[in-house]
Amino acid sequence: MKAQHLASANHIRNNPKFAELVKKRTVFAWTLSVIMLAIYFGFISLIAFNKAFLGTKLSDAGVTTVGFPIGVGVILSAIVLTGIYVYRANGEFDELNRQIIEESR
C-alpha cells in the first residue's frame, strides 16, 4: 500500500501540469503579496513621514481626515486582493488540480 502511494505521489510530481500549477500559484501568490506589502508599507510610510497630510480635514465643515479614506482603502485592497486570489484559485487552479488528479488515476 505504501509503495503504491509513493508511486502515485511521484507520478503526480512528475506531471508537467503539476509543475505548471505550482509555478502559476507561486508567482500569483507572490505578486499579490508584493502588492499588499507595498500598500501597507506605503500607508505606514505616510504615517511616519507625512502625518500632517493624513490629519488634513476633507472639508472645512467636516471632521473626517484624509487618513480615514486612505485607511479604509488599505483594508478594502486586502479584501479585493483576497477575492482575486480566491476567484483564480477556484477557477484556473482547481481545474488544473482536477486534471492532475484525473491523470494520476
For 16-67, the pLDDT digits (tens) are 888 899 999 999 999 999 999 999 999 999 999 999 999 999 999 989 999 9
- Domain parsing of the chain, residue ranges: 16-104
Q: What is the greatest pairwise CA distance in the chain?
A: 74
pTM for the predicted model, two decimal places:
0.77
Spatial separation of the C-alpha atoms in residues 105 and 103, rounded to whole Å: 6
Instruction: Specify the DSSP element, H or E, that contains 84.
Output: helix 67-88
